[in-house]
Chains A and B, each alone.
Chain A
Amino acid sequence: MKDHLAVFRALTVLAAACAPLLAADTGSGLDLKLKTGLKAGDVRTALKDNKLFGFAIGGSRAWGAGRLTFEAGFDLLPGQNYDATRTSGAIWAPAGTGLGTSDPTTGNAYFLRPNESLDLRKESAQGFTIKVGYGAPLAWNPGLSWHAGISLDAYKVSSEFTGTLRPMYLNASGTPTQVTTTQGKYYEGYAFVSTTTGFAPGVFAGLRQEIGEDFAIEVNLRNFGLKHQDYLPTTYTGKPAALETSTKRGFSFDVALCLKL
């Protein structure tokens, strides 16, 4: 809720900030940018999705032979639901007296009962991005310019974890058998959503083509990062369940339609 309020307030402030510029007789030099694009690298791997959407307010001011560019926007980095149920590797479970990877009586390794185990996940991100850079027209086409600069992203990453893991083993007769404890049949279950927000710097470069007086098209290549969250249930590690956070970086390629304010 707080994050959403922040979005709302920030946009309100942004709109208010634009107002004096709108009133300027000489025109604002500001654009509304509508972006769509693809993402790649570890970010894509973490989110299991290659799409990117966003909108921004951007502008520029003359500086030397070129222009200083700036942009403040909101990006949406979708993620896909996926099944992370472990199908290979060690499975840890409490068999009476403690954790292990196999049944102490038979020595048979634990495995996840396929039709009763499920580890569903989804991670997506959204948040603000600020860019500053420098650009200049290309000599052979004054309507076409290049630009490059640095960005600072504040993406809120939302990670959904839902699962039930039910270890089994083959008993002496070769029959799949449920791992039990003194409390009953053993499951590990979880259902939670964890969000985290972190700042990450990035770099970008791109081209911009003016289309008449009112429109322009931009293409941008950007390197950026976000905080990825991974949940490690006891069943996968033999240790207390834990949520691990790491930074993932990747590239994005976006096309922006620029509408003059």
Chain B
Amino acid sequence: MTRWIWLVVPVAVLAGLVIFVLTGDPLRQLSESAPPVEEVAVETVRLEPGSITLSVRADGSVPVEIAQVQVDGGYREFTLDPEGPIGRLSRATVSVPYPWIEGETHHILLVTSTGVTFEHTIDVALPSPHLTASSLAMLAVVGLLLGVAPVATGMLAFPAMRQMGPGAIRFLLALTIGLLAYLFIDTLREGLEAGAETLGRLRGETLVWVSALLTTLVLIAVGRRGGKPPEGIALAFFIALGIGLHNLGEGLVVGASFAAGAAALATFLIVGFIIHNVTEGVGIVAPLVRAKPPLIAFIGLAALAGLPAVLGVWAGSQAVSPYFVALCFGIGAGAILQVIIEVAGFTLRREGAGPITGPVYLGGIVAGLLVMYSTALLV
């Protein structure tokens, strides 16, 4: 009985503390003369012919009121929905009728009631894609080229891989670890970048780390639910899943760059991604060289690793918030970390610790990192 009381007491004390700070206002002297803090983040931008629509999120010690809006250094009429001050972490839509010019850069400045300004740049203005059948199809092609095509192309090397001796296979597995390590770093970086764009209080960067670690732990638990670590087709499945989640994030970024008007770079970007991602196909099938997987397994793995890119491009083109992007990359990074652990574990169990520090293995890792880094220069 007394045990329960000692669970209730801390809760009651906590509630008392909160009530005291909020109602007693013991910190009044600190906050009395402090000027209000205002923060506004432009999360998404949509461009329609003759209009610019911004989705903004506000934070601060007081509700933030957007009083006036400049576009390209001139005040413009605008509407705010909902009207009035924007509360903490709330969103509002700023719509500005404006004859923006296709292919040119436009600058937006939001002026709050205290005269503080927040700027946002539309680097290359292009109409935001609508989700019509034809645009969905076009974006799907982008996603397929980005994700499925290179992975499937890489898998075509599988028959050749089967002919290789044990040294070459060891090298291939190490290569897979190298490329996964590269993807892990790159995914984290992209996630942290997106996380930094969120309002400070949403802690976008922390979100990336937390979601990555949670994903790793969950996937390890799922992978080992039968009591033993994944090998063969199961290991290939997890590699494909990790790469698929990574490609979801890549798709979001590519889709968003379409939405943000960076589409001029798209062709170049896609060529780069195809070359970059071919290695991923090799990595996925590397654990299968000793097995006799059916053809359908390859199709499934390619789909798992590549199709999320299509979803990502679709979602990204519709201007998603950086918070969501950060979360996706966090999950992707976590999934990749899990397969690094499992692939390394697979090798360790099979060959012991010796080969891992040998020149072939280290060379494979180095090769994986270098191939990914150098092909990333094309992106």
Q: Do A and B come from one complex?
A: no
